[in-house]
Amino acid sequence: MTRSSLLRWLAVFAWVAVIFAAIPFVLSLREYFVARWPAELIGIGVILVVVALCAAGLIFLRRRRRRLPFTDAALLLVVTTVLVIWTWRLMGQPEEAVHFLEYGVLGVLLFRALRMGIQDNSVFAAGALIGILVGIFDEIIQWLVPGRFWDFRDIVLNGGASILVQIAISVLALAQSSPISRRSLRRLCRLAAAVVALLTLCFAATPQRVNHVAQLLPALANLVSGDEAISEYGHLHRLDELTSFRSRLSLNDLAREDGSRAGEVAAMLDASRRNYADFLHHTSPAVDPFTYEARVHLFARDRSAAQARKLTPGSPAHCESMTAAFRENLILERVFGATLARSSYPWPPHRRAAIEGAQNETSVFVSKVSAHVITAASEAEVRSLLVGILVALVICNLLLSRSVTRGSPPA
């Protein structure tokens, strides 16, 4: 490795270290910023940076080629548009958009380091795959930090930023016309296999397995409580055409728990009225999903009702909060009915009628409780898909390796 190459890789490692080291301080930095300025300024700042970089890229292309190629300009504008729209959709949590800048810088540093050893266009795919790997490790570290949570959407965000920046770099760096060698294809197979293998482990990190590991490593005990698991699998239930919710339990299991444990669970819910955070810390959805979900539905109902009281009656926001409160209560009545009846949480008839009258009767509502629970596929189906992809990548790598060994010409 040359000195220049070493310095470029040191820059990559240094920036990755900065990304990882910032994880414990993100919430504090956000609170500091929001205490002084509107949170939306974070997202607006990201948008301005992205637009400015796009303009600089277009000027660079114009000066380098003496004219502005339509295809290249269009591709840069598409990348910019995607990032701007994505950032705008994150305005509820604008600090998440900072990932675009973090992984944009990482993408540039990776390209500079990889280009020293990869002379064909596979350098862009390699940079994107390494960026995705870093993004997954970023989320794993975040999961391990107290007060931070795992979210697959962050992996999509990190990975999307890694891919988009490599597309932009391919335009600005003048992609090569030479064919991609088999050696480069093998490298891509190995990197893709590493991504899939890591994702397979993440999708297998259910609360039950995390609990087992925590028994062996007590330092990880904080990962057992609450919604701390990386992956949970369950069901999407429909009360009617308009109201749905996710649960770790089937409808039959929910009915059985409600029928046999109503008094016990009601007492636990009443005891948690004054200290919701303590309940979440000491109650694991892996051990007692019924009690856990009942309490979180109650919290979601009461929070929505409290938000509605702060809003102008009849306004769209007020109607939305009232709808959420009523539908959460409907879920509690129909699914956790016996438990609710024996607790101190049922609404008086007049309050229930008032909230029902203020809701949007035609609005489709999907409860945000247990929103992270995977319902589109079972764990076995997800594992089979990922393992199948992993096996295919390993086979491709072996076939390409044999071709290189035999001295076949580059493909």
Does residue 201 share a domain with residue 170?
A: no
Higher pLDDT, 137 or 215: 137
CB 214, CB 224: distance < 8 Å: yes
Q: What is the pLDDT at residue 411?
A: 43
Which of 202, 40, 227 minimizes the C-alpha distance to 136? 202
Answer yes or no: do 166 and 306 share one domain.
Answer: no
Choose the most confident range, by mean pLDDT, from 71-75, 142-146, 254-258, 397-401.
Answer: 254-258
Quick one: pLDDT band at residue 224, thresholds 50, 70, 90? low
- Segment 217-230 mean pLDDT: 65
pLDDT at 207: 81
Could you tell me if residue 51 is inside a domain?
yes
Please report, in angstroms and rounded to a whole number, the separation of the first and last CA atoms in the chain: 26
Q: Is residue 228 part of a domain?
A: no
Residue 277 included in any domain: yes
Once rounded to an integer, what is the mean pLDDT over residues 2-28? Answer: 92
Residues 357 and 262 in one domain: yes
Pair (335, 281) in one structural domain: yes
Rounded to whole angstroms, the maximal C-alpha distance in the chain is 83
Q: Is the pLDDT of residue 74 over 50?
A: yes
Contact 120, 176 (CB under 8 A): yes
Domain assignment of residue 41, yes or no: yes
Q: pLDDT tens-digit profile of 329-372? A: 999 999 999 999 999 999 999 999 999 999 999 999 999 999 88
pLDDT tier for residue 223 given thresholds of 50, 70 and 90: low
pLDDT of residue 380: 94
Averaged pLDDT for residues 254-275: 95
Average pLDDT in the 8-14 region?
96
Q: Among 322, 323, 267, which residue's Cα sits nearest to residue 294?
A: 267
Whether 390 and 351 map to the same domain: the answer is no
Across residues 319-337, what is the average pLDDT? 97
Burial 178-205 (b: 16+ CB within 10 A, else e): eebbbebbbbbbbbbbbbbbbbbebbeb
Report the pLDDT averaged over residues 146-152.
79
pLDDT at 189: 96
Calculate ∠ Cα 257-258-260, nearest 5°.
65
Residue 147 has pLDDT above 80, yes or no: no
Task: State the Cα–Cα distance between residues 383 and 95, nearest whole angstrom.
Answer: 32
Mean pLDDT of the 298-307 span: 96
Residue 99 DSSP label: H
**Are 243 and 153 found together in one domain?**
no
What distances in angstroms separate CA 147 from CA 33, 117, 211, 281, one per listed residue?
19, 41, 18, 11
State the chain's mean pLDDT as an integer: 90
Domain total in the chain: 3
| Whether the Cβ atoms of residue 181 and residue 364 lie closer than 8 Å to each other | no
Question: Domain range spanning residue 299?
Answer: 235-366
Q: Is the pLDDT of residue 227 over 70?
A: no
Quick one: average pLDDT of 148-160? 88
- 191 with 62, same domain? no
pLDDT tens per residue, range 55-72 = 999 998 888 877 778 888
Residues 38 and 60 occupy one common structural domain: yes
pLDDT in tens, 183-216: 999 999 999 999 999 999 999 988 888 777 777 7
Q: 299 lies in a domain?
A: yes
* 241 shares its domain with 210: no
Residues of the chain with pLDDT > 70, as a percent, come to 94
Does 185 lie in the same domain as 170?
no
Burial class (CB in 10 A: 0-12, 13-18, 19+), 222: middle
Please spell the DSSP secondary structure of 200-267, one letter per residue.
Answer: HHHHT--HHHHHHHHHH-GGGGGGSSTT--S--B-EEEESSSSEEEEESS-HHHHHHHHHHHHHHHHH
DSSP state of 366: E
Span of 97-106, 204-213, 248-257 with lowest mean pLDDT = 204-213
pLDDT at position 2 over 90:
no
* 53 neighbors 164 (Cβ within 8 angstroms): no
Is residue 21 assigned to a domain?
yes
